[in-house]
Amino acid sequence: VNERTGTIVMGGNIAVDEVAITQGGISISITKDLTVDQPPPFSPGTTVIADNPKVDAKEQKASSIVLPATANVSDVVGALNSVGATAQNIISILQAMKASGALHAELEII
């Protein structure tokens, strides 16, 4: 991450934990939503637990964005881009996520 130029280079498949972040008029919230799929009775199938992440981003006064714990960095950045977040906003939010322990990656600031 280069704060001076606003350049962000990252892998998109980096896991993030459940977290809620608000910066200015942009809010992000990451939540976990698990569902259980069961096979019909007496069938050879097995019960499966599926993660259903929900990513939403909004830009309003005192609003929040909720992302599931199964979301990744590309979900976060995609949600932020959808509400018109600047590179500086995204950098600040990634730094806050790292500081809170919700971002499972090294964050290198240039």
pLDDT attached to residue 53: 65
- Model pLDDT, residue 64: 58
For 15-42, what is each residue's pLDDT tens digit?
888 777 777 777 666 666 778 888 888 8
> Distance between CA atoms of 109 and 74, rounded to whole angstroms?
18
Rounded to whole angstroms, the Cα distance separating 61 from 64 reads 9
pLDDT for position 57:
62
**Alpha carbon distance 82, 22 (integer Å):** 16
**21 or 11: which carries more pLDDT confidence?**
11
Q: Which position has the token pair 């959808």?
A: 82
pTM above 0.75, yes or no: no
- Of 13-27, 35-49, 84-98, which range is least confident? 13-27
Sorted by where each begins, the domain ranges of the chain are 19-100
pLDDT, mean of residues 79-86: 80
